[in-house]
Amino acid sequence: MKSFLAAIASLTRLPVGRLAALDAADVTHSAGWFPLIGALLGVICSLAAALLKDYLPLGVVAVLQVLLDAIVTGALHFDGLADAADGFGGGQ
């Protein structure tokens, strides 16, 4: 259970570290939970889109989806995308 909480703490900004004391070993063993955490994040974003699509234009829903992902994950994926773009063009 601690490795599951460590996976949530590693991939999101949700304050699950308060539920249990996590150490480096827990983080090391948490990688097996990463696909499930990704699926849960996908479900959260999908539910938000399903709830908003009837009330807002789709462009606004898309922007809110990106903001929701940035808030929940601490922009972890955007940082990785920026690092990849920097690796392709920044070394010259």
pLDDT at 86: 83
DSSP sequence for 33-62: GHHHHHHHHHHHHHHHHHHHTTTS-HHHHH
In terms of average pLDDT, the best of 22-26, 37-41, 88-92 is 37-41
Q: What is the pTM of this model?
A: 0.78
Residues composing the chain:
92
Q: What is the mean pLDDT of the chain?
A: 89
Q: Is 25 helix (H, G, I), strand (E, B) or coil?
A: helix
Residue 13 and residue 72 in contact, taking contact as beta carbons nearer than 8 Å: yes
pLDDT at 92: 66
- Residue 56's region, left for phi above 0, alpha for psi from -120 to 50, else beta, is beta
Work out the average pLDDT over 40-52.
94
pLDDT at 48: 95
What is the tens place of the pLDDT at every residue in 51-71? 999 999 999 999 999 999 999
